[in-house]
Structure 1
Amino acid sequence: MDKVLSRSQLVNWRTAVFTIFFVTGLGFASWASRLPAVKRDLGIDDAEIGILLFISGAAAIVGLSIANVLVVRLGARRGMFLTIVTFSLGVAVVGLGVEFLESYAVTAIGLALMGVGMSATDVMMNVEAAAVEQAFEKTLMPLFHAFFSLGTVAGAGIGVLMAVWNVGVAWHLWVIGILVLIAGLVALRAVPIRETMHDDPATPATRRERLAEQLAVWRDPRTYAIGAIMLGMAFAEGSANDWLTIAMVDGHGETEAVGAIALTVFSVSMTVFRVLGGPIVDRIGRVWTLRVLAVAAGLGLILFILAPNLPIAFVGIALWGAGASLGFPLGMSAAADDPAKAAASVSAAATIGYLAFLCGPPALGWISNQIGILPTLWIIVGLIALSGLASGAARPIAGSKVGAGHPHH
């Protein structure tokens, strides 16, 4: 049985999870914002960038696969200690590979470490966030993801400055890697040790039972329906993080700095809507929120692809970011509706979402090499439509404390 936490312990726990979301976003966007420089320094084309992203994605799938095992064996708290260290090390190795060694192979190793560390951390921090949300009994998941987006805004913004000032990729990523490590490990100290997160030591027999519980959710059709919502929006978000800078430079003929500004605009738009998301969901409910935002994301992406000038491209980017903002967090929130299997369900939903988030962008790189980056983005428009059509699956189950909406309050 988990002990009842005091108000200050709950607030500290929430702040700790906010911090972990933030530094994960910071580390990831720091790498993404320097993609044009990585391409130039290593002397590679879009297809080879796609291979790097595929390696990162494949490693991330490994991270997703081992996240459940880490939770069962070590608990979410100790598991995150291990994965944050791995992620930070990966960020540093990428910097070394790109600039000092100019080695495609070393860069790929760094990205593999980043992929494993980030995706496993992501599953565990979403499990923790869902537990915090249920403890506070209000929609907080978009706000947690807003902190991830704030991290990406900070990462992209710093990336703009680094590109303008011609700071090398290595020094940039080394400093970020150290920041992620220190902030992440300090935050973990405020995460409570809880039996439901398997933070208590377990015997091998108990671990087997726990793993069986984790795997049982894959037989629940609702897991896949929620996964369909997250699939389209994860593609919409992941493609922007990995390809927006390059779409601006190669597709619309802008400078690297404008490409980095575009990623910043996308990240700011996502962040604003994630901050506003909780109150909106508590007013109109999860399902309608997701439907409206799917329309916004699709319209924004179409505007960006067809934009005849820069202002219209930026309007499209802002709508794309706003529309893509809540699919992932509300999918997580829906998965956590049943407290008895929240940890396992959130892990499963995160796995489906992250498969799209991580595998989509490398596939887009390959297609882009055949037909160009802007025509490739039409694929995402179709997937956003799929996400909108699947929104009904996010309707809260009986007894859930969040997500139904209260239109008359």
Structure 2
Amino acid sequence: MSTQTNRPRARPLWHDAGWRAVVAGFTLNGFLFGVWASRIPSFKAEFGLSQATLGFLLLGLAGGAITSFPLAGGLSERLGAARMTVLCAILYCPALVALALAPGVLLLGAALFLFGALHGSMDVAMNGWAAKVETRLARSTMSIFHAMFSLGAGLGAGSGYLAVRLGLSPSVHFLAMAVVGGAAALWLMWPERDSTPPRPNTSSTPQKLFMLPHGTLLLVGLVALSISMGEGAMADWSAVFLERVVGVDEAQAALGYAAFSATMVLTRLSGGLLVQWLGPVMVTRLSGLTAFLGLAIVITAHSLSVALIGFALVGIGYAVIMPLVFSRAANDPDLPPGPAIASVATVGYGGMLLGPPVVGFVAQLAGLPVSFGMLAVLALCAVGLAPVLRLGPSD
């Protein structure tokens, strides 16, 4: 007689409408950002931008995002994370098109500020929505959601390669991608917009719109900062590095971010198994060392193929650390999941958007290889801070 317990088979994730909606949101967020990142060399050439000027423009994008983080966190609580994500997605698509329509550097800077604000707002809101879906399903899915962001970014970067090969201007390219990507994502997201009702404020103390991590959670935020600075730099500077340092053409330069994003997707899809096997601390240490090795290969590369191997390793190294950061924040012993995630996101995604302008300023002073070396040092910082991502005594 069989002694096995007859348990119902777990329902596949893709059968859940809420899960599909969150996947669509993460994919669209990464896709539109990847589309922009893939055409940075075109903007650099069209406006005759120096590395320092490009850095200032990217600082405007970062400023828009950082300004939006605390506001998005508060609005997500008041409107509901799903509704806030859908609203941001609707506005994010035309913001991409506005970048290509800017007639001068000043208006390009203003458009980048708006683009960054909507990118950041959607990022905070969709992570809150993802945490609620993960809790409802009682399954670890955060790494998969972040994989979809990377997949979207890779597809966006790949569209840039094709657009350059076809001779499409950024305006035509951005409009086509905003319409196609936005329509596909909102088709899945719109029916679930009311799935996360606003949280009632039962406290007599008014909810804070702005909150930074403190205590151990601050160290978790520093891990996020170390990795997200590098992730943001890959988006905005990988193409420029390949074009200026390795010496490839504009179309080939777009392949760096595509390689980075592709390996990040594959690693995040298996991230849950890796964490279950090795634990979050060991996975973070190995990931940081892999990112360091990849950046070292990129810095010393003299051919496109070697550089792409380096970017692929960086994608593997960065892949699972940010999902681990959000999981740790959601299980913080001192703060509820919502405020904890929002506070860490403020630091982590602030780093993602501050990284590109910092790389630009360092590159202006000492060259792009030195600025990428700075990112390698930050990867080692994540290795040293890995123990703060421990979720419990057994990890």
Same fold? TM cut 0.5: yes
Q: Relative to structure 1, is the Cα distance of residues 10 and 393 closer, same or farther in structure 2, using a 3 angstrom cutoff? A: farther
Q: Relative to structure 1, is the Cα distance of residues 32 and 206 closer, same or farther in structure 2, using a 3 angstrom cutoff? A: same
Q: Residue in 2 aligned with 1:3?
A: none
Q: 1:306 aligns with which of 289, 296, 300?
A: 300
Conservation of the 8 A alpha-carbon contact between 1:232 and 1:384: yes
Q: Relative to structure 1, is the Cα distance of residues 198 and 220 closer, same or farther in structure 2, using a 3 angstrom cutoff? A: farther
Gaps of 5+ in 2: 1-10
Q: Relative to structure 1, is the Cα distance of residues 7 and 144 closer, same or farther in structure 2, using a 3 angstrom cutoff? A: closer
Q: Residue in 1 aligned with 2:338?
A: 343
With 147-156 and 250-259 compared, the bigger mean Cα shift is at 250-259
Q: Relative to structure 1, is the Cα distance of residues 338 and 137 closer, same or farther in structure 2, using a 3 angstrom cutoff? A: farther
Q: Relative to structure 1, is the Cα distance of residues 189 and 209 closer, same or farther in structure 2, using a 3 angstrom cutoff? A: farther
The 5 Å alignment of 1:6-405 reads 11-97=16-102, 101=103, 103-191=104-192, 193=194, 199=198, 209=205, 211-212=207-208, 218=212, 220-337=214-331, 341-397=336-392
Conservation of the 8 A alpha-carbon contact between 1:86 and 1:114: no
Residues 353-383 of structure 1, C-alpha deviations (whole Å, 9 max, x = no match)? 0111011111111111121111211111111
Once residues 376 and 287 of structure 2 are traced to their aligned partners in structure 1, the CA distance between those partners, rounded to angstroms, is 13
Secondary structure of 1:375's aligned partner: helix
Once residues 131 and 338 of structure 1 are traced to their aligned partners in structure 2, the CA distance between those partners, rounded to angstroms, is 15
How many Å apart are 1:305 and its aligned residue? 0.2
Superposition CA RMSD, Å: 2.4
How many Å apart are 1:210 and its aligned residue? 6.2
Once residues 228 and 129 of structure 2 are traced to their aligned partners in structure 1, the CA distance between those partners, rounded to angstroms, is 20
Aligned length: 384
Conservation of the 8 A alpha-carbon contact between 1:139 and 1:281: no
Matched residue type, 1:199: P
With 7-16 and 21-30 compared, the bigger mean Cα shift is at 7-16
With 176-185 and 110-119 compared, the bigger mean Cα shift is at 176-185
Once residues 285 and 135 of structure 1 are traced to their aligned partners in structure 2, the CA distance between those partners, rounded to angstroms, is 23
Once residues 112 and 43 of structure 2 are traced to their aligned partners in structure 1, the CA distance between those partners, rounded to angstroms, is 12
How many Å apart are 1:78 and its aligned residue? 2.4
Q: Relative to structure 1, is the Cα distance of residues 315 and 279 closer, same or farther in structure 2, using a 3 angstrom cutoff? A: same
Conservation of the 8 A alpha-carbon contact between 2:89 and 2:122: yes
Q: Relative to structure 1, is the Cα distance of residues 341 and 210 closer, same or farther in structure 2, using a 3 angstrom cutoff? A: farther
Matched residue type, 2:258: T
How many Å apart are 1:131 and its aligned residue? 2.1
With 152-161 and 40-49 compared, the bigger mean Cα shift is at 40-49
Once residues 388 and 163 of structure 1 are traced to their aligned partners in structure 2, the CA distance between those partners, rounded to angstroms, is 38
Conservation of the 8 A alpha-carbon contact between 2:212 and 2:347: no
Conservation of the 8 A alpha-carbon contact between 2:293 and 2:313: yes
Matched residue type, 1:29: G
Q: Relative to structure 1, is the Cα distance of residues 219 and 226 closer, same or farther in structure 2, using a 3 angstrom cutoff? A: closer
With 154-163 and 330-339 compared, the bigger mean Cα shift is at 330-339
Conservation of the 8 A alpha-carbon contact between 1:93 and 1:106: no
Conservation of the 8 A alpha-carbon contact between 1:67 and 1:120: yes
Once residues 344 and 324 of structure 2 are traced to their aligned partners in structure 1, the CA distance between those partners, rounded to angstroms, is 11
What is the TM-score when the length of structure 2 is the normalising length?
0.91
Matched residue type, 1:128: W
Identity of aligned residues (%): 28
How many Å apart are 1:176 and its aligned residue? 1.7
What is the TM-score when the length of structure 1 is the normalising length?
0.88
